[in-house]
Structure 1
Amino acid sequence: MTQKTSKTRTHYGKRSVSAIHPRRIRLLQAGFFLAAAILIVRLGYLQVLKHGVYEALASGQRELYKDLYPQRGSLIVQDANGTEVAIATNQYLNLVWAEPRKVDDPVRTAQVLSDILGLSHEVVESINEEGKTEQSPSEYDRVLAQLQKADDPYEPIKRRVSEEVGNEIHLANLSGIHLLREQFRYYPEEETTAHITGFVSEDADGTSSGKYGLEGYFNETLAGQPGFLFSELDAKGNWISIGARNLQSAQDGADLVLTLDRTIQHVACTKLQENVDRFDADSGSLIILDAKTGAIWAMCGVPTYNPNAYSEVESVATYNNQTIFSAYEPGSVFKPLIMAAGLDSGVVTPNMTYNDTGEEKIDRFTIRNSDLKANGIQTMTNVLERSLNTGMIFVMRKMGGDVFARYVHDFGFGEAIGIPLNSEVQGEISAVDKGQEIYSATSSYGQGLTVTPLQMARAFTALANGGAMMQPYIVKEIRYPDGTVEATEPEQLRQVISSKTAQLVTAMLVSVVENGHAGPAKVDGYYIAGKTGTAQVANDSGTGYKSDETIATFVGYGPARDPRFVMLTRIDHPRSSQWATGTAAPLFGEIADFLLHYKQIPPER
């Protein structure tokens, strides 16, 4: 069979253009341009839209870590000149770890590490549960033993190593010794702000979260949101260059700017510690508020702890902020509030008198004055100056139990303040609602009900601020990473008493400081309004009171004509002097003197 041959001839060298059909040329051109367009789009997608993915992958694990793990927000306060200072921030330190199977000379390596890290060569002795002495290897011996584990791929040597020391280890070029940067929470003010900051610790699942204070309350806000990386891999586990991948960058946490004044916090809390020590007391607490706004200038308690070493406390109770956690029977510092209620309801005046017989009998109970005296005819101002329990019962009876209870609630007792700090309690005031005279009587002079120091300070803002009670707040701003700022505005909760009543009570409390038990709270050149309180402490059984234990409190504000601050000082179980006149009052006076000069408030007399 004869096969027809093509008429097309084979040409060597240059091919004739005329042999290619024009349509094919157009198809080839279209295909070329389409391929080029796809390549350009792909390159643009990779270089622009997916730039972050490849930048992270190319820059190695350290940069990738930054993209996937958020920065925890800082807690910020202001100093005297308005400079912002972080009291909780992040610090990058090094973990020194060994890969013993790659260590050439364990003895030499251990010696070099010892010189750089300052490892001790002394054997550690300790007493076990049986009372016997036990010896543990020195730091040097422990590290040497780690390095001699020939087949071991990982041994942690030391954590929290500074950059400077880490650089020395890097320059030593020790085989099998590596550095890994780790992020830690750092608290520069240490014990001074511990009850406000709280701390960050590791959870059971290996993640970290805030505990107590602002770290606990605002954990999600401070922590931010972690990112993620998705990438297709080949059979060998390598990422495929043209495969699908996506990087969702982490969202850093927000910064919290606080109302605290760093200088006031330092001075006030240092003096609190000094006075707790001076009076051989169990504990103490302190709160300072802006009288007009409710902003917290200082807040602290003793004993305290170092949040950088939070695990070293003897008791977890040390973590609690006493100004919001430790509810107690306040004693006579409660009296100005009940006197204000009596004045505001119109049943008494500052100069109204009653006959103090030294005691009041209610049912089977006999209530006496703290001085155990019958003082005769006394004015309502005298009642506060001499802190007469019988006088407060007189005021309560004039009002009646229902009106009395209403004012106690209006002053904010029995309800949580809502301060954004973990572990706040609301106190217990059920006694005032029982409708029985004995309960109202004891409550009128601050026994038989419990309040927190912050609740007491908040109630006194009504006396200092023309009758308007202000909501305490500690977070001034929340600054989000996108530039959004959420500011806190001062909040007036309610007008508890009239402005006239507030002025009358203030004048009476000035007389208490000038002429009564609160003399040690005086500040030269200024009028201070305030009241002492020496409260009995209930027995653990719930009935009766301890005979040898008191809680001393002073609450006051100044300057009296235009109050700028409200302050509460509390000393628990002072052994060298059980009365507030000799403990909490002089502590108040010391800090008030500093505050008035620090705020450059002109003298008023």
Structure 2
Amino acid sequence: MATSDQTKKKDPFWKWKLQFPKTSSRKQSQPSRPATLLRLLSFGFISTLWFSLALIRLWDFQILRVDHFLQKAKKQHEGVVEIRAARGDIYDRSGEKLAFSTPVDSIGVFPRRVPNPQLTASLLAEVLDEPEDVIYKKLTRNRFQWVKRLAEPGETARIRNLRPAGIHFEKENKRSYPHGAIASHLLGAVGIDHTGQAGIEQFFEKTLQGRPGLRLVQFDAKRNYYASRVIDEPVPGADLFLTIDHRVQVLAERELGRAMTETQSIAGSIVVMDPNNGDLLAVANRPTFNPNQRVRGSDELKLRHNYALSHLIEPGSSFKIVTIAAALEEGLATPDEVLDCQMGGIYVGSRTVRDHKPFGDLSVSEVLANSSNVGTIKLGQRLEPERLYSYARNFGFGERTELPLPGESAGILRPPEQWTPDSMGSIPIGQEIGVTTIQLARAVSVIANGGMLVSPALVRSIQHPGKLDELLPRAIPKRVISPETAAKMRAMMEGVVQNGTGRLAHTQGYRVGGKTGTAQKVDTETGAYSKTSYLPNFVGFAPVNDPSIVVVVVLDSPVGQYYGGIVAAPLFPTVAMQTLRFRDVPPELPVPSRTTANIEVTEEVLMDFTSPSIDDAGTSEMAMENRKPEDDVVWITTPQASASKQKMPTDHTSLSLRRPYAVPTTAGNILHKTAITLSVASRVVPDFQGMTVRQTVALAAKSDFDIDLKGTGFAQNQQPPAGSPAPPGQRIEIQFSNSRIAVQGGR
């Protein structure tokens, strides 16, 4: 320090230098030149990179994906809505409309446009008959809500008059079934979205729905649409023409409904089919439903079960036609061959199979007519399991008919290797197998049409808009039995109706053939056959010489009488006779005349009933007009000539018989040159006990008796008693009640 001070003293002040202290911190705050340059380069690089990325992104937005972003922008203000095409109509074979669609309004709401949700909900609830709180919830949500789809025209008109804010009306197609529940199981139904949910509506969904169109809708910033235009017109669906005859369908539905009420059955079906080409003319089911009404709950959904197509039953004795036809075809039996029916019992496997009543010797024809289990089992044993199974398959059992309907069952027919020793005592008589009513109709058609298996058909053609009708292809018929065997079976089945268990199927004016069946239902709890629940059925065809129709009737668990010949067979005459008239099939038998006259006889006269019958066109009076002068005869109507000689009574008698014959007379013994109607004086009062009102009326009409009915339910008492001689003009008084009487009868 001394040296420094000395220096200062030596030099003058003007030579002194101003100096400041240098600190290390000041040195660090001033960056070096290389560091500054690095920072500038980094900033420039990052800026360039960012700008390049922005340019690339802008290039992508504006050039590469401009269409994509334009469409995305449009979606915020535009939308494409599908336009449903008009659904095709469904017609019967003659052009009767069975199902069609009409445009109606559906009512929706834009909640944000509703100024007073509570008031609007109250108004809509009153008009639409809907809960107010449910509508209010819809009015207080953010997005568009449907208030009621497919509203009634009256409801739409009232709401339009009220003009509530925010309400929107949209046209939609509503499916209508003008005949209600008629053929509902065939037609099916559609849901709220207008798509098929059952029946033909479901199976032919793509054909009926057509091709939808497109509508462009424009929205504002609040998603409220303000304009729209059609950009693709919809193409209507095709129309379907069915094989069903609406008149026959109504008839079958009506008769089945009556039978269900009278017998208190839980279910049933009637199928009417043309045996020659497989056309289904009617398929009636119970329970049923109305496709115009929306299904509410699982119980109503069960009503859509197609009993004739999906429900399996044991055919019982109706299956005997297959066993007997197979035996005839194989040359193992003839209609006249006599079988020992062992007084109604045969041991097979581990059990004894019995007849409904004891039979001794019966011809094969009588085995069928009397529905003998023993006789049929003996014929089945001749066939052996393999051939019996083969014929059952050839008759169409154990496979689907391939009808264009959802839910068809193939049935149950086990191959022979799965049979037990008891099976040959069951399968020949229609047990241990499961069939549908449709399958039964197809099997009977084999006999009716001369031995060919035809496939049932439900849709005849499809009519596309602006195109020719498209005929649906059909399976080629297959030969099952020879025409000769089929003819023998038709004659034998006619005997079932004339002399056997199917007498109540007699049809006025027509020769008919048929077979009765009564199957026991299986108890689901025990697995054994029920002793209280039965499945009576009847299968038949008419006319015998040239069958035009096959009719199958099935009832499920009737109360009271349960034999097929008693509860199912009586439905056949009405359905068959009316259907034949609809199809312009003329009667082949004369209709009995109701004219009566006294016959004055001074002595017993032997009458000849074997003379040729007159033409059906001639009544008694017409026959007298056509009588030759040299013919000293009178014309009468008589039953089929079961006896060639009968004696006339010696008192004044009013008589009534069925078929017209010429009867030679002796002048002075009969009031000749007069048209008269005669009946057998030896007739007796039928047994009506246990029958329903319907069955009683049918038997009385068949027997030509006048009756007085009292009460409802089942016949309990009658006067005169059954078996009593019936004097002229005798009326029968029958008392009914709801009590059940088990009466043995035809199977």
Q: Bin the TM-score by the shorter chain.
A: 0.7 to 0.9
1:561 aligns with 2:545: yes
Query: What is the aligned partner in structure 2 of residue 525 from structure 1?
Result: 509
Query: What is the aligned partner in structure 1 of residue 182 from structure 2?
Result: 192
Query: What is the aligned partner in structure 1 of residue 399 from structure 2?
Result: 415
Shift of 1:423: 0.2
Task: Report SS of the residue matched to 1:309.
Answer: coil
Counterpart CA distance in 2 for 1:597 and 1:418 is 30
Matched-pair contact (CA < 8 Å) for 1:143–1:157: no
- For 1:111-190, list aligned pairs within 5 A: 117=127, 139=130, 141-142=132-133, 145=136, 154=144, 156-190=146-180
Shift of 1:472: 0.6
Check 1:433–1:110 CA distance in 2 against 1; reply closer, same or farther (3 A cut): same
2:346 alignment partner, one of 360, 370, 373: 360
Matched-pair contact (CA < 8 Å) for 2:121–2:136: no
2:363 alignment partner, one of 379, 391, 395: 379
Matched-pair contact (CA < 8 Å) for 1:431–1:439: no
Matched-pair contact (CA < 8 Å) for 1:294–1:490: no
Corresponding letter in the other structure for 1:69: R
Shift of 1:169: 3.3
Query: What is the aligned partner in structure 1 of residue 580 from structure 2?
Result: 596
Matched-pair contact (CA < 8 Å) for 1:432–1:443: no
Shift of 1:70: 2.0
Check 1:153–1:595 CA distance in 2 against 1; reply closer, same or farther (3 A cut): same
1:510 aligns with 2:494: yes
Query: What is the aligned partner in structure 1 of residue 254 from structure 2?
Result: 270
Corresponding letter in the other structure for 2:352: T
Counterpart CA distance in 2 for 1:569 and 1:230 is 55
Corresponding letter in the other structure for 1:210: G
1:214 aligns with 2:200: yes
Counterpart CA distance in 2 for 1:335 and 1:259 is 29
Task: Report SS of the residue matched to 1:191.
Answer: coil
Q: Which moved more, 1:69-78 or 1:467-476?
A: 69-78
Check 1:310–1:556 CA distance in 2 against 1; reply closer, same or farther (3 A cut): farther
Matched-pair contact (CA < 8 Å) for 2:368–2:493: yes
Q: CA RMSD in A?
A: 3.2
2:107 alignment partner, one of 85, 96, 106: 96
Corresponding letter in the other structure for 1:85: E
For structure 2, the residue ranges without an aligned partner over 5 or more in a row are: 1-77, 590-747
Tell me: higher relative CO, structure 1 or 2? Use CA pairs within 8 A at least 6 residues apart: 1
1:330 alignment partner, one of 315, 323, 342: 315
Query: What is the aligned partner in structure 2 of residue 18 from structure 1?
Result: none
Shift of 1:321: 1.0
Query: What is the aligned partner in structure 2 of residue 42 from structure 1?
Result: none
Check 1:338–1:177 CA distance in 2 against 1; reply closer, same or farther (3 A cut): same
Query: What is the aligned partner in structure 2 of residue 242 from structure 1?
Result: none
Check 1:68–1:104 CA distance in 2 against 1; reply closer, same or farther (3 A cut): closer
- 1:93-126 Cα offsets, whole Å, 9 max, x none, are 22234456545677876776577x3x66xxxxxx
Shift of 1:530: 0.3
Counterpart CA distance in 1 for 2:553 and 2:303 is 18
Q: Which moved more, 1:317-326 or 1:565-574?
A: 317-326
Matched-pair contact (CA < 8 Å) for 2:328–2:334: yes
Q: Which moved more, 1:68-77 or 1:517-526?
A: 68-77
Counterpart CA distance in 2 for 1:435 and 1:546 is 22
Query: What is the aligned partner in structure 2 of residue 339 from structure 1?
Result: 324
Counterpart CA distance in 1 for 2:559 and 2:518 is 13
1:396 aligns with 2:390: no
- 1:365-404 Cα offsets, whole Å, 9 max, x none, are 1111123x2x111101111111100011111122222222
Check 1:433–1:594 CA distance in 2 against 1; reply closer, same or farther (3 A cut): farther
Corresponding letter in the other structure for 2:200: L
Query: What is the aligned partner in structure 2 of residue 44 from structure 1?
Result: none
Matched-pair contact (CA < 8 Å) for 1:431–1:440: no
Query: What is the aligned partner in structure 1 of residue 427 from structure 2?
Result: 443
Shift of 1:413: 0.9
Q: Which moved more, 1:562-571 or 1:576-585?
A: 576-585
1:73 alignment partner, one of 88, 94, 103: 88
Matched-pair contact (CA < 8 Å) for 1:431–1:448: no
Shift of 1:538: 1.6
Task: Report SS of the residue matched to 2:159.
Answer: helix
Shift of 1:157: 4.1
1:426 alignment partner, one of 386, 410, 421: 410
Aligned length: 507
Check 1:492–1:155 CA distance in 2 against 1; reply closer, same or farther (3 A cut): closer
Structure having the higher Rg: 2
Check 1:152–1:528 CA distance in 2 against 1; reply closer, same or farther (3 A cut): same
Q: Which moved more, 1:357-366 or 1:88-97?
A: 88-97
1:260 aligns with 2:275: no
Matched-pair contact (CA < 8 Å) for 2:85–2:210: yes
Query: What is the aligned partner in structure 2 of residue 20 from structure 1?
Result: none
Task: Report SS of the residue matched to 1:556.
Answer: strand
1:291 aligns with 2:275: yes
- Aligned-residue identity in percent: 30
Check 1:70–1:159 CA distance in 2 against 1; reply closer, same or farther (3 A cut): closer
Corresponding letter in the other structure for 2:380: M
Counterpart CA distance in 2 for 1:173 and 1:217 is 42
Task: Report SS of the residue matched to 2:314.
Answer: coil
The TM-score, its normalising length taken from structure 1, stands at 0.77
Corresponding letter in the other structure for 1:76: Y
Shift of 1:228: 4.6
Shift of 1:238: 14
Matched-pair contact (CA < 8 Å) for 2:122–2:132: no
Shift of 1:150: 7.2
